[in-house]
């Protein structure tokens, strides 16, 4: 039975450390993926990397629309990302946020198309190409697995503003 796990927040070392490759495609991985979907939906997200629930493995799940507003749902294990070359690259200047930094958003230009190669939960090779919001999601979640948050791509001043706002929005201990 899938169980929503708590989301890990910025500042936890698991978010800033590159994740380990998955080497076993078994029931334990399938259960982790089920928990990841449950956790993502409970937090009202559209993507979630394993390290966001404290598991340092190269796995992410997603459920979000592409540029044509067609919904896509899936899991990618051990992803590698492929972005268009500079000549063919078009940037989407949209806002980005993260479940590990709740309530904080900032414009972050990213390529409007991305492809990830990896495996599904059974170990079969897969390729997922996304446009629009799905492209942003694929890039964002792959970044997580490299130990990078979206705020790491922002100018220093804006990054500090978001971190300060996040810190003050957390419940204070009594």
Active-site residue set:
141
Q: Which residue has the tokens 């990841």?
A: 36
Rounded distance, CA 6 to CA 26, Å? 23
Q: For residue 98, give both structure tokens.
A: 């993260």
Q: Nearest-CA neighbor of 8 among 154, 162, 147, 123?
A: 147
Rounded distance, CA 133 to CA 171, Å? 31
Rounded distance, CA 129 to CA 35, Å? 24
Q: For residue 39, give both structure tokens.
A: 């956790």
Which phi and psi angles does 166 have, rounded to 5°? -65, -45
- Angle among Cα 76, 96, 30 to the nearest 5 degrees reads 20
């Amino acid at each position: 039975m899938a169980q929503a796990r708590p989301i890990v927040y910025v500042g936890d070392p698991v978010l800033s450390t590159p994740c380990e490759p998955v080497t076993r495609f078994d029931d334990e991985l399938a259960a982790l993926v089920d928990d990841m979907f449950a956790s993502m939906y409970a937090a009202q997200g559209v993507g979630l990397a394993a390290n966001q629930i404290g598991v340092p493995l190269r796995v992410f799940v997603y459920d979000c629309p592409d540029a044509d507003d067609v919904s896509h749902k899936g899991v990618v294990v051990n992803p590698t990302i492929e972005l268009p070359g500079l000549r063919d690259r078009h940037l989407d200047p949209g806002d980005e946020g993260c479940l590990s930094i709740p309530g904080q958003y900032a414009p972050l230009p990213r390529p409007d198309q991305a492809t990830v190669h990896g495996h599904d939960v059974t170990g079969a090779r897969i390729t997922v190409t996304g446009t629009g919001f799905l492209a942003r999601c694929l890039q964002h979640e792959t970044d997580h697995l490299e130990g990078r948050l979206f705020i790491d791509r922002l100018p220093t001043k804006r990054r500090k503003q978001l971190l300060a706002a996040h810190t003050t929005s957390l419940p204070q201990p009594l």
